[in-house]
A and B are shown apart, each in its own frame.
Chain A
């Protein structure tokens, strides 16, 4: 797979580069601190080793000077926090793209599948009910609701167009899962009893992988899905092919099973 390397995976979403920037800055700082520190440490070990004619001496070191590393670390951390972390976090987690300009989907995790509920051509989600859940209707879409008649559900297979934000409402049917697309640098827990919004904007066409990042039971390792990021036309063609043709039927979402 060309998307994955010995270091970070390919940057396939709009904010992947911003997260990577942070990772590189911090790792560069970490390595710098560690190397300088180790050199000093090694020097101390060699210079003050026990040997003939050398005696320990009580050196007076100014205590205020010893606080310099603490102050430097705190200053570095707080500047990273103020200049990079909080602004980025706010734009990623505390504001969401407009629903009108986005692909809106519901992503529902279950042991051990990722269900994606697309609203169909009308852009409206049908009502869902736990009582209606069965093998052919994994999300329990209400067949009597006209809004849901053209909805469709894919399992472990999601398609998104390139260059358009995706607004997903993440939830879970049973236990806690975690929605993780390494190439998009996006991760969010799917918690039963809650709906957590998340968004991402794919910027690179290709096939990527969704995995579950939170232990969810026996099949945790095989809980994966494919994400296909397609050109606008390919996506539209796929979308049209998925939407149920007939409005009436015992269950609106049976076609693709």
Chain B
């Protein structure tokens, strides 16, 4: 890597940089752009759901005729956007933001490392992710359009539908990027901790990244294999997932047959369930940091939380088929997955319990990041609780593939993960730019978002209970959905409101970058090493390698004169 003393060109410094902080920021900006794109797609879809067959305002005129003839969204366009919304939000939005952005930026400074273990590999992983993302978006321009078989890409539909080839290729890029990143994270955590930073002195955020990296490392390859097999079904006309005797539109399909349809679902969910924990564990780490800082007391049950994260990660590999109770899988095997699903809820409850008990005895500062972290707790609670009737085989018969499922996982990922990540942006922004984000705009963003998100998602739980299937282009085409239509309207209006409430955030982010209030290196009075180096940290992070003397959350230490005792301070100073 480039050494000191030699002037870095613009390209080396900001584009092909090997500095983990620049790469983290690249990830952050890119994933926010993808989140915005994915959100715009859902706005267009939501308009169609609330007001089927009407001209979409603003976007209607911009969309090509194949998508929205006469400004009205067509079913092909709807399915393409549906598939791409899911894919973009999960693989190009939340995961790169949680792991690529925050993991890259914060984790090395929190353990006192000068950079990642493999800086060039780190750069490579971003430069594999970005083309993968661009390829994914470019699939809209391909003949036949983008993928339109849902983000799950179930064969045989995905094999006979147009558009899936580019999706699969792009997934191979994204998986490669994740694998490079996860190897790098694990090695960094194991081999580059500052002196004195034992594993049990690591902040919870580092633990969450460490555990997540293992999930990514071991859960992604099965999807990669499944993607390769499906790609070969599409390109080489093999028949891994194509059974005997398919008749599509009255014509016998040109496949040799003999494939196993359910095999793909097993392989897909073997990744995709652990992936859910990739979405939620890093935000858990972020809000743990925020809560510890803003309660001014040690977190409750630090070790318990680490063990809970580890058991979540390990168990997450054994629950995948609860997505497949009604797929034609053996009903006897369902009972196994039912039990493991119930067991995995225990460590999740433990995590929530520890965080809420951390509030006891605290002196809670309601700063903007703290508001986001606090809202995470009840909202993730709803997400977790609504998972219960979906995880039980019998109630899942009714609720499976309805809007209830959509409500459930958006409560987890949007009001949970995304809110945690927003909190992380407000929390670490002073570290990244040496300036604080505006508090008032931040609070507008918070209250607007949290209310709008509930306005979007609560109606989904209601129409889910009414039995409305998901992924319907036009819900009013089915009689039993008519009664719930006002709920779609409410949901759509809330979605538009949510979009409007992101404007203060975007303005705040860029404005504060240059004009925000200047702050010192530790504005929150926090204890972990990330607040020990200058803001923004220079290349190499620390002028002198820090030495660590204690655990991460020594707030309100009785022998110390201030209410925070940094990890790198050798001795507590007695109160005067």
- Take A6-B462, A84-B394 as given contacts and tell me if A174 and B247 are in contact as well, using a CB distance cutoff of 8 Å: yes
Would you call A50 an interface residue if the criterion is a C-beta within 8 Å of the partner chain's C-beta atoms?
A: yes
Would you call A240 an interface residue if the criterion is a C-beta within 8 Å of the partner chain's C-beta atoms?
A: no
Residues of chain A within 8 A (CB-CB) of B260 are: 193
Instruction: Please tell me if the beta carbons of B328 and A134 are within 8 angstroms of each other in the complex.
Output: no
Q: Quote the shortest CB–CB distance from B325 to chain A (angstroms).
A: 9
Residues of chain A within 8 A (CB-CB) of B393 are: 85, 89, 93
Would you call A176 an interface residue if the criterion is a C-beta within 8 Å of the partner chain's C-beta atoms?
A: yes
Residues of chain B within 8 A (CB-CB) of A51 are: 363
By beta carbon, the residue of chain A nearest B304 is A63
By beta carbon, the residue of chain B nearest A69 is B353
By beta carbon, the residue of chain B nearest A46 is B364
By beta carbon, the residue of chain A nearest B252 is A130
Residues of chain A within 8 A (CB-CB) of B76 are: 218
Would you call A54 an interface residue if the criterion is a C-beta within 8 Å of the partner chain's C-beta atoms?
A: yes
Would you call A257 an interface residue if the criterion is a C-beta within 8 Å of the partner chain's C-beta atoms?
A: no
Residues of chain B within 8 A (CB-CB) of A34 are: 378, 381-382, 385
Give the docked Cα–Cα distance between A84 and B401 (Å). 22
Instruction: Please tell me if the beta carbons of B465 and A7 are within 8 angstroms of each other in the complex.
Output: yes
Contacting A at CB under 8 A, from B326-381, are 326-328, 331-332, 334-335, 338-339, 342-343, 345-347, 349-350, 353-354, 356-357, 359-366, 374, 377-378, 381
Residues of chain B within 8 A (CB-CB) of A49 are: 363-364, 366
By beta carbon, the residue of chain B nearest A84 is B394
Instruction: Please tell me if the beta carbons of A9 and B250 are within 8 angstroms of each other in the complex.
Output: no
Q: Quote the shortest CB–CB distance from B79 to chain A (angstroms).
A: 7
Contact with A along B378-405 (1 / 0, CB 8 A): 1001100110110011110111111000
Instruction: Please tell me if the beta carbons of B473 and A221 are within 8 angstroms of each other in the complex.
Output: yes
Task: Pick from B150, B252, B326, B388: contact of A26, CB below 8 A.
Answer: B388
Would you call A17 an interface residue if the criterion is a C-beta within 8 Å of the partner chain's C-beta atoms?
A: no
Instruction: Please tell me if the beta carbons of A19 and B300 are within 8 angstroms of each other in the complex.
Output: no
Task: Pick from B244, B328, B345: contact of A191, CB below 8 A.
Answer: B328
- Take A9-B466, A37-B378, A85-B338 as given contacts and tell me if A48 and B482 are in contact as well, using a CB distance cutoff of 8 Å: no
Would you call B154 an interface residue if the criterion is a C-beta within 8 Å of the partner chain's C-beta atoms?
A: yes
Contact with B along A204-248 (1 / 0, CB 8 A): 000001011111111111101000000000000000000000000
Instruction: Please tell me if the beta carbons of A66 and B75 are within 8 angstroms of each other in the complex.
Output: no
Instruction: Please tell me if the beta carbons of B79 and A215 are within 8 angstroms of each other in the complex.
Output: yes
- Take A182-B467, A218-B75 as given contacts and tell me if A192 and B261 are in contact as well, using a CB distance cutoff of 8 Å: yes
The main secondary structure of chain A at its interface with chain B is mixed
Residues of chain A within 8 A (CB-CB) of B249 are: 111, 174
Q: How many residues of A contact B (CB 8 A)?
A: 92
Instruction: Please tell me if the beta carbons of B296 and A212 are within 8 angstroms of each other in the complex.
Output: no
Instruction: Please tell me if the beta carbons of B362 and A48 are within 8 angstroms of each other in the complex.
Output: yes
- Take A38-B378, A213-B401 as given contacts and tell me if A19 and B394 are in contact as well, using a CB distance cutoff of 8 Å: yes
Contact with B along A135-175 (1 / 0, CB 8 A): 10000000000000000000000000000000000000111
Interface with A: B115-123, B156-164, B266-274, which one?
A: B156-164
- Looking at B243, B245, B295, B394, the one whose CB has the most chain A CB atoms below 10 A away is B394
Instruction: Please tell me if the beta carbons of A70 and B342 are within 8 angstroms of each other in the complex.
Output: no
- Take A193-B261, A209-B478 as given contacts and tell me if A23 and B397 are in contact as well, using a CB distance cutoff of 8 Å: no
Instruction: Please tell me if the beta carbons of B248 and A174 are within 8 angstroms of each other in the complex.
Output: yes
- Take A191-B328, A221-B477 as given contacts and tell me if A26 and B392 are in contact as well, using a CB distance cutoff of 8 Å: yes
Contact with A along B69-81 (1 / 0, CB 8 A): 0000001100100
Residues of chain A within 8 A (CB-CB) of B483 are: 1, 4-6
Would you call B301 an interface residue if the criterion is a C-beta within 8 Å of the partner chain's C-beta atoms?
A: yes
- Take A30-B385, A209-B478 as given contacts and tell me if A214 and B359 are in contact as well, using a CB distance cutoff of 8 Å: no
Instruction: Please tell me if the beta carbons of B556 and A73 are within 8 angstroms of each other in the complex.
Output: no
Give the docked Cα–Cα distance between A55 and B374 (Å). 20
Q: Quote the shortest CB–CB distance from B442 to chain A (angstroms).
A: 17
Q: Quote the shortest CB–CB distance from B346 to chain A (angstroms).
A: 5
- Take A45-B364, A45-B374 as given contacts and tell me if A70 and B392 are in contact as well, using a CB distance cutoff of 8 Å: no
Give the docked Cα–Cα distance between A187 and B347 (Å). 31
- Take A6-B462, A188-B326, A213-B401 as given contacts and tell me if A220 and B389 are in contact as well, using a CB distance cutoff of 8 Å: no
Residues of chain B within 8 A (CB-CB) of A8 are: 465-467
Instruction: Please tell me if the beta carbons of A66 and B300 are within 8 angstroms of each other in the complex.
Output: yes
Give the docked Cα–Cα distance between A196 and B328 (Å). 6
Would you call B24 an interface residue if the criterion is a C-beta within 8 Å of the partner chain's C-beta atoms?
A: no
By beta carbon, the residue of chain A nearest B253 is A174
- Looking at A59, A110, A214, A215, the one whose CB has the most chain B CB atoms below 10 A away is A215
Other than A58-B297, A89-B331, give 6 A-B pairs with Cβ distance below 8 A. A4-B466, A94-B332, A110-B247, A194-B261, A215-B79, A224-B477
Measured CB to CB, the residues of A under 8 A from B are 1, 3-9, 18-19, 22-23, 26-27, 30, 33-34, 37-38, 40-41, 44-45, 48-51, 54-59, 61, 63, 66-67, 69-70, 73-74, 77-78, 80-81, 84-86, 88-89, 92-94, 110-111, 130-131, 133-135, 173-176, 178, 180, 182-183, 185-189, 191-194, 196, 209, 211-222, 224
Q: List 23 A-B contacts (CB under 8 A).
A: A4-B483, A5-B466, A19-B397, A26-B388, A34-B381, A45-B364, A48-B364, A50-B366, A56-B363, A56-B555, A56-B556, A66-B304, A77-B342, A80-B392, A85-B393, A92-B394, A94-B331, A187-B401, A189-B326, A191-B261, A192-B156, A215-B157, A218-B148
Measured CB to CB, the residues of B under 8 A from A are 75-76, 79, 82, 148-150, 154, 156-157, 160-161, 243-250, 252-253, 257, 259-262, 295-298, 300-301, 304, 326-328, 331-332, 334-335, 338-339, 342-343, 345-347, 349-350, 353-354, 356-357, 359-366, 374, 377-378, 381-382, 385-386, 388-389, 392-395, 397-402, 462, 465-467, 469-475, 477-480, 482-484, 555-556, 558, 563
